Amino acid sequence: MHRLTGKTGGDSLIEMSPTDSFSDDVNGYHHHASSSSGSLEQGRSEIDKQKYSKDSVFFRDGVRRIDFVLSYIDDKDDQRKQERRRVYESNLQKVGLELETEDKTESEDGKTYFVKIHAPWEVLATYADVLKIKVPFKVNDIPDNSEIPMNWLSTPFRLPEHIMNPEPDYFTAPFNKSKSDFFLIEDKETFFPPSTRNRIVYYILARCPYFKDECGDRDKKGIKRLLNNGTYTAAFPLHDSRYWTKSKDPNCESERFNLYKYWAKFFCFFKEQPLNLVRKYYGEKIGIYFAWLGFYTEMLFFAAVVGTICFVYGFLTYDDNEWSKEICSEEIGGNIVMCPLCDQKCTYWRLNITCNSSWQSHLFDNVATVFFAIFMGIWVTLFLEFWKRRQARLEYEWDLVDFEEEQQQLQLRPEYETKCTNRKLNRITQEMEPYLPITSKCARICLSGATVLLWISLIIACIIGVIAYRLAVYASFASIMKNNTATNLDVVAPYVTPQLATSVTASCINFVIIMILNLLYERVAIKITDMEIPKTHLEYENKLTVKMFLFQFVNYYSSCFYVAFFKGKFVGYPGNYTYMFGSSKLRNEECEPGGCLIELTTQLVIVMTGKQVWGNIQEALVPWLMNWWGSRKARSHPESLYSRWEQDYDLQGFGQLGLFYEYLEMVIQFGFITLFVASFPLAPLLALINNIIEVRVDAWKLTTQFRRPVAAKAHSIGAWEEILGGMAVLSVVTNAFIVAFTSDMIPRLVYMYAYRTHDELNMKGYINNSLSVFNISQFTLEERPEEYPSWFNSSITTCRYRDYRYPPDDKKRYEHNMQFWHILAAKLAFIIIMEHVVFMVKFFVAWMIPDVPSDVRARVKRERYLVQEYLHNYEVEKLKIQLSQNSNNECTCTPMIYPSLSKHEVLSECL
């Protein structure tokens, strides 16, 4: 064990063995020779102050690789922190790790110490055995016969082979330290890649105690607690080079530079992602996220094309829109007097003032809307099924098959181990393990669930507040705009209606509330998940995922659900309106004359676009500004003194939940393009454009703005897969209801086929048919307008409103007529038929597409077979050698020849 500690002054006092030496050319170090001044202890020598290379990722001896770095600021007044660090580092050395400390005088700020950690072979081999890390034992001998038709077309999108496949393809097996000669070990120093090395070191750091053996305080354990209590300021593995240039050290791989050059630059947006290199550098967990994001973006292309075609269809059929022509005509729409949309402040108005909104509504509310809703129900099934196949292929290629069981059993969270003082026997391993009593577990879950419900109730209360705002300000906007002919509103008056102004401002306020509640709830969700003490990291992330998604689902989608399914549905009719909070003066909102679909589209565009723009600013600009501010002092120093660990220390920490927020952002976007896509066919196109940028922004910030995350394994996208499946099912239902109840598609079809007053199959007369009549003399004083428009005269005795009710001179006046019930029956029939058709196709497609490709299944069987066969042959050979040596030692006679043992027969389950 060598511990090197820099001292203040012109030279450094370094503990090292007499055999250790410095290398300046190979590893980028430059130093001056020095001699001892006075008698020093054996094994110590005095040398000049080192001038470090910015590229080196090795100890000062130029041989031992830096696998992890701890940093701290020494507060001499805080003896507790000093004692914790001393004990913790001593325990790390007892485990077998080697440490080297950089004095604060060597740092740019003059106050930060850096503890560099190296894991020697014995430590790596031991913990690789414990963690069952798969390593190569044989080169893959299965020929790759998969040829893609017209493969030459994809040439512009390909990356160089050494970037796409940085490692040869091997058959792998879990590492076994006692059988190390079974594996393909050429060089022990490079056998485990840096990502595996930092994963092993972090596993040790997370479980190493910082108490003395005689104290026995089990709660004082792990680097996470030391970071939380300020003992250390940071803990991170090193990047292998600067991102904009290759390392000058030939022993450094410069994979970060390759990732930046071929992956993180925006102008690579049309290129494939080097997923194998991402996995090698950052680990499987980050690799599988980018694989999913890339696959999702590819599938969005098909949805975006179909959605754009549907939008273009609405644009091309602009002139065939008969009902809009009737609304805009002076003879029809100009002579229809509509009832006031609010009490007192609103007045009578003519239908033709909604001409523009009617035309705009047609762009999204047409026959193609039904087709697109059905298409998206099938598309989402294809997306999930093909992703399962892609994920299965990655599981095999990245050695993640059968990983979940290892994750559950072997990698307990350190917090679980320390907080669960009870022990019980594991029937499988026959070892005592910590556990949480069922009573404590139930109490924690109930408290957690109650907290989530409380916050969801808070969201609903905020949404009700926004609805109250809409009802309150609508009258104000109507009052401002009713005399717009004499104001500066002349230009925008035909386009900005009171309904539109109310909708836009309410959507913006709702978006601000969403962002604020998100910020507050994130901290609450993490605290209550910590309180539940999940057993494994996978369980922790799944619990947090469910809590955050439930909250975000209600937070982001509740306003859209209100507009789609509640607004305009419980209005009542003139003379008998329905009011919010019963006796209040807030009359429930009505839909625009063009329908509520255009308002749902507005709401969707504002929330979806605002979230994506804000997300990109938060993800890219904020880390860049923080890094710029944090490293501004370092730029004033000579660049050669700015060491590798100091450069990384000035970057932002990625955090344990960094990927969680990336998944959450994309899943929320997935909900926007599936749950409400019938109202906005261009949503997949907006999502596609955003995701093309998102892939490169995420790659750029991970490569340039964040410290290197600790490598972690994950065999799938976790609980997000089930959430996506649930949203896929829900999307069929919501889109069917949107087409039936929010769109005017069904009422138009019922009119055209059952209620038209002429022989031709067209929509002439639909507007007059869809509006009911009310006698204005029956308005109460509270409902009657305060002012009347200039064109209003005493000859006008009735007004019209959107509904299907009997006229005032009928015996059943103002009750729903038969056409209303026919339309309701048609809507319910449409929902049932659409859902059954889409679900039947979904289940058929899911049944037709196997989750695991046949060639992957064959390769998994082949690998299991080879593992069994090679292990058998390995054991036989070792047994022969052992018996031969024993026979030579015990007798002088000619050693007997042992018969060849039969070839090991592979168990049927392997096949």
What is the pLDDT confidence band of residue 36, given thresholds at 50, 70 and 90? very low
3-class DSSP assignment, residue 611: helix
Question: Other C-beta atoms within 10 Å of 810: how many?
Answer: 12
Percent of the chain whose predicted confidence (pLDDT) is above 90: 27
Supply φ then ψ for residue 421, to 5 degrees: -80, -20
Strands 134-139 vs 68-73: parallel, antiparallel or unpaired: unpaired
Contact in structure between 653 and 710 (CB atoms under 8 Å): no
pLDDT one-digit tens code per residue, 328-381:
888 888 889 998 888 877 888 888 888 888 888 888 888 888 899 889 989 999
**Mean pLDDT, range 686-699, rounded to an integer:** 93
Please report whether residue 465 resides in a domain: no
**Mean pLDDT, range 63-81, rounded to an integer:** 89
CA proximity to 344, closest of 244, 198, 491, 475? 475
With tokens 């947006």, the residue in question is: 269
Q: Give the pLDDT confidence score for residue 497 in this predicted structure.
A: 67
Q: Where are the beta strands (DSSP E) in 49-91?
A: 68-73
Please report whether residue 78 resides in a domain: yes
Which residue range is the domain that position 188 belongs to?
Answer: 54-133+175-238
Residue 653 has pLDDT above 70, yes or no: yes
pLDDT one-digit tens code per residue, 764-788:
888 889 899 999 988 888 888 888 8
Distance, CA of 830 to CA of 736 (rounded, Å): 8
**Mean pLDDT, range 223-235, rounded to an integer:** 90
Please report whether residue 283 resides in a domain: no
Q: Where are the beta strands (DSSP E) in 664-743?
A: none
Contact in structure between 171 and 867 (CB atoms under 8 Å): yes
Q: Give the pLDDT confidence score for residue 641 in this predicted structure.
A: 63
Q: Give the pLDDT confidence score for residue 819 in this predicted structure.
A: 93
Residue 802 has pLDDT above 60, yes or no: yes
| Residue 792 buriedness (CB in 10 A; 0-12 / 13-18 / 19+) | middle
Q: Give the pLDDT confidence score for residue 148 in this predicted structure.
A: 63
**Mean pLDDT, range 425-433, rounded to an integer:** 71
Please report whether residue 546 resides in a domain: no
Q: Which amino acid is at 683?
A: A
Q: Which two tokens stand for residue 857?
A: 């299944």
Question: Other C-beta atoms within 10 Å of 739: how many?
Answer: 25
**Mean pLDDT, range 703-715, rounded to an integer:** 90
- Reported as type and span, the H/E element at residue 433 is strand 432-434
Q: Which residue has the higher pLDDT, 481 or 516?
A: 516
Q: Give the pLDDT confidence score for residue 763 in this predicted structure.
A: 82
Q: Give the pLDDT confidence score for residue 421 in this predicted structure.
A: 76
Residue 41 has pLDDT above 70, yes or no: no
Please enumerate in sequence order all residues whose Cβ is within 8 A of that of 265, keeping only pairs 6 or more positions apart, or say none: 696, 700
Question: Other C-beta atoms within 10 Å of 318: how many?
Answer: 12
Q: Give the pLDDT confidence score for residue 628 in this predicted structure.
A: 80
Q: Give the pLDDT confidence score for residue 224 in this predicted structure.
A: 86
Please enumerate in sequence order all residues whose Cβ is within 8 A of that of 514, keeping only pairs 6 or more positions apart, or say none: 555, 556, 607, 611
Q: Give the pLDDT confidence score for residue 570 in this predicted structure.
A: 83
Residue 593 has pLDDT above 90, yes or no: no
pLDDT one-digit tens code per residue, 234-265:
999 999 888 988 888 777 888 999 999 999 99
Please report whether residue 727 resides in a domain: no
Q: At what angle do helices 403-410 and 537-565 cross, to 10 degrees?
A: 110
**Mean pLDDT, range 27-39, rounded to an integer:** 35
Distance, CA of 216 to CA of 890 (rounded, Å): 50
Residue 16 has pLDDT above 50, yes or no: no
What is the pLDDT confidence band of residue 404, given thresholds at 50, 70 and 90? low
- Give the number of residues written for the chain: 911
CA proximity to 724, closest of 668, 783, 641? 668
Q: Where are the beta strands (DSSP E) in 737-857?
A: 771-775, 798-802
What is the average pLDDT score of the chain? 81
Contact in structure between 695 and 290 (CB atoms under 8 Å): yes
Please report whether residue 199 resides in a domain: yes
**423: β partners:** 434
Supply φ then ψ for residue 434, to 5 degrees: -70, 150
| Cα–Cα distances in angstroms (integers) from residue 786 to residues 338, 476, 781, 789, 800, in the given order | 16, 13, 9, 10, 19
Please report whether residue 773 resides in a domain: no
Contact in structure between 280 and 167 (CB atoms under 8 Å): yes
Distance, CA of 636 to CA of 197 (rounded, Å): 34
Q: Give the pLDDT confidence score for residue 53 in this predicted structure.
A: 61
Residue 695 has pLDDT above 90, yes or no: yes
Contact in structure between 518 and 693 (CB atoms under 8 Å): no
- Reported as type and span, the H/E element at residue 174 is strand 170-174
pLDDT one-digit tens code per residue, 500-510:
777 788 878 88
Please enumerate in sequence order all residues whose Cβ is within 8 A of that of 741, keeping only pairs 6 or more positions apart, or say none: 564, 565, 569, 827
Distance, CA of 125 to CA of 356 (rounded, Å): 72
Distance, CA of 112 to CA of 74 (rounded, Å): 7
Contact in structure between 517 and 555 (CB atoms under 8 Å): yes
What is the pLDDT confidence band of residue 489, given thresholds at 50, 70 and 90? very low
Number of structural domains, the chain? 1
Q: Which two tokens stand for residue 144?
A: 């790759």
Q: Give the pLDDT confidence score for residue 8 in this predicted structure.
A: 35
Half-sphere exposure of 205 (CA within 13 A, CB side): 29
Distance, CA of 379 to CA of 835 (rounded, Å): 14
Most confident range (mean pLDDT) of 91-100, 317-326, 514-523 is 91-100
Residue 603 has pLDDT above 60, yes or no: yes
Strands 134-139 vs 170-174: parallel, antiparallel or unpaired: antiparallel
**Helices (H) and strands (E) in the chain — how many of each?**
27, 17
Please enumerate in sequence order all residues whose Cβ is within 8 A of that of 628, keeping only pairs 6 or more positions apart, or say none: none
3-class DSSP assignment, residue 813: coil
Please enumerate in sequence order all residues whose Cβ is within 8 A of that of 377, keeping only pairs 6 or more positions apart, or say none: 728, 731, 732, 735, 838, 841, 842
Q: Give the pLDDT confidence score for residue 4 in this predicted structure.
A: 40
CA proximity to 106, closest of 33, 26, 9? 9
Cα-Cα-Cα-Cα torsion 187, 189, 195, 197, nearest 10 degrees, comes to 130
Most confident range (mean pLDDT) of 80-94, 137-151, 601-615, 760-774 is 80-94
Please report whether residue 669 resides in a domain: no
Half-sphere exposure of 357 (CA within 13 A, CB side): 25
For the chain, first and last CA: distance in Å? 48
Q: Give the pLDDT confidence score for residue 583 in this predicted structure.
A: 61
- Residue spans of alpha helices (H) in 329-366: 355-364
pLDDT one-digit tens code per residue, 141-176:
776 666 566 666 777 888 888 899 888 888 888 898
Q: Which two tokens stand for residue 511?
A: 């978006």
pLDDT one-digit tens code per residue, 817-830:
999 999 999 999 99
pLDDT one-digit tens code per residue, 251-301:
788 899 999 999 999 888 889 999 999 999 999 999 999 999 999 999 999
Distance, CA of 483 to CA of 479 (rounded, Å): 8
Distance, CA of 102 to CA of 6 (rounded, Å): 6
With tokens 């037709």, the residue in question is: 848
Q: Give the pLDDT confidence score for residue 256 in this predicted structure.
A: 94
Q: Which amino acid is at 497?
A: T
Residue 59 has pLDDT above 50, yes or no: yes
Q: Give the pLDDT confidence score for residue 892 in this predicted structure.
A: 46
**Mean pLDDT, range 422-445, rounded to an integer:** 79
pLDDT one-digit tens code per residue, 198-218:
999 999 998 898 877 655 555
**Mean pLDDT, range 717-722, rounded to an integer:** 88
**Mean pLDDT, range 616-628, rounded to an integer:** 81
Distance, CA of 744 to CA of 600 (rounded, Å): 13
Strands 4-5 vs 98-102: parallel, antiparallel or unpaired: parallel
With tokens 């790390």, the residue in question is: 92
Residue 61 has pLDDT above 70, yes or no: yes
Question: Other C-beta atoms within 10 Å of 428: how many?
Answer: 8
